[in-house]
Amino acid sequence: MTNGPADEEDDLPKDSHGQVSESAGGMSRRGFVAGAGLLGLTIPFHSGMPAALASDDALAGKDGLTLLNDWPVNAETPAHLLDDAITPTARHFIRNNGLPPEEVDAAAWTLTVDGLVESPATFSISELRAQFEVVTLALVIECGGNGRAFFDPPVRGEQWTMGAVACSEWTGVRLADVLQRTGVRPGAVYTAHYSADTHPSGEEGRLPISRGVPIAKAMTDNVLVAFAMNGGPLHRHNGAPLRLVVPGWPGSCSQKWLRRIQLRDIVHDGPKMTGKSYRVPRYSVAPGDKVPTEDFEIIERMPVKSLVTSPENGAGAAREVEVRGHAWSGDRTVSAVDLSIDFGKSWMAAELDGPVNPGAWQNWRRSIAFPEAGYYEVWARATDSAGEMQPFAIDWNPKGYLNNTMHRAALRVA
């Protein structure tokens, strides 16, 4: 657990030369054998990886999350606790850039839509419910830095392993319907999102984060202005009482404690939209390279990925066991999930469900009979509808984004 602002410029432990310490964890092509995170997974049976579960007020209403930071609160969910087809509210990860508002009155909360719109408007939550179609969708939210802990050399930012992802059911109204009601004026190219959280510094008027998306993304049918989660109220740390849910794109686009949406004639330039935040180099770089800021491009869709949720990594297993998990791929669907128990020498197809709706993850399973007792690793590899397949290892990038290396779970078969 650490203290201090949890933004993308956080410092990791440094060595005597001011460089990020190798002890901070890493993963890359170069560091594949020696790095702390082989194939982007917690080292099986390694006692040094984060395991302490927080039980203080920071995680009230949550179950089993690992606290990475308490100012502001950031916490991830161990993979085996993400086994549900729909992620319970208590097990949805927390990614905060600022401090949640202390007093939240849903009855008095309002959302203003302005900027390049024909008819600027302000809606209460009850007006959103009454004036627009209310829908419930299962939608994936994943932090752009999920898997950052496995880059080598280490990079700054919250050291997520694989648990900064969830697929809960969100209830709200389509952002597209709201924008159509207010009228999108010619020249509008981007949304800008503003929220009620405060910067950890306490500096008045300083926004912790204000991101946006292209108008075309905002107008898709599964981008929601959400006021309920899994049939109940939003959790305080998941954006109560109102938030955006923008599935398939970095979770930072899904602004929490939402107060205002502005339409702009330029790419939004709010905090965490400029510089290197939520951006990757437009070309491959060597691990540790310094990349000019102008050579970074904004992350849009998230890459294809899969997660083994059962059996738990490091568990004992019988000679025959059902292996299961989830797979997702930005705005696409997943067409196949394949598993290997012999370190990639051979692969077997898993049974794969379709998404319950666009933007949801897909559940998969496979009964595996192990040939003999001993140590095994189950590797999972997803392929999406465009033919993109999870890689064995990914290119390093300076901010530690988009780690979608193949997931593996270690088992000791009796």
Question: What's the whole-number mean pLDDT along residues 239-254?
Answer: 98
The residue out of 298, 317, 332 marking a domain boundary is 298
5-9, 63-67, 171-175, range with the lowest pLDDT = 5-9
134 in the same domain as 259: yes
Residue 280 confidence (pLDDT): 98
321 in the same domain as 293: no
**Whole-number Å distance between alpha carbons of 305 and 327:** 6
Residue 27 confidence (pLDDT): 34
Residue 345 pLDDT greater than 80, yes or no: yes
Residue 408 pLDDT greater than 90, yes or no: yes
Residue 385 pLDDT greater than 90, yes or no: yes
361 in the same domain as 402: yes
Question: What's the whole-number mean pLDDT along residues 9-16?
Answer: 36
Greater confidence (35 vs 259) lies with: 259
Confidence bin at 56 (pLDDT 50/70/90): low
326 in the same domain as 276: no
Question: What's the whole-number mean pLDDT along residues 381-406?
Answer: 97
List b or e across 108-137, with b for residues whose CB sees 16 or more CB atoms inside 10 angstroms: ebebbbebbbeeebebebeebbeebeebeb
329 in the same domain as 294: no
The residue out of 242, 272, 298 marking a domain boundary is 298
385 in the same domain as 248: no
In a domain? residue 58: no
**Whole-number Å distance between alpha carbons of 329 and 123:** 33
Question: What's the whole-number mean pLDDT along residues 380-409?
Answer: 97
261 in the same domain as 115: yes
**Whole-number Å distance between alpha carbons of 100 and 104:** 9
Report which of 401, 127, 88 is spatially closest to residue 229, judged by C-alpha positions: 88
Q: Is-contact 238 164, C-beta < 8 A? A: no
3-state helix, strand, coil in the chain (%, to 5): 10, 35, 55
197 in the same domain as 133: yes
As a whole number, the mean pLDDT across the chain is 89
268 in the same domain as 324: no
Q: How many domains are contained in the chain? A: 2
Q: Is-contact 347 306, C-beta < 8 A? A: no
358: containing domain: 305-413
56-60, 130-134, 157-161, 348-352, range with the lowest pLDDT = 56-60
On the 0-12 / 13-18 / 19+ scale of CB atoms within 10 A, 370 is middle
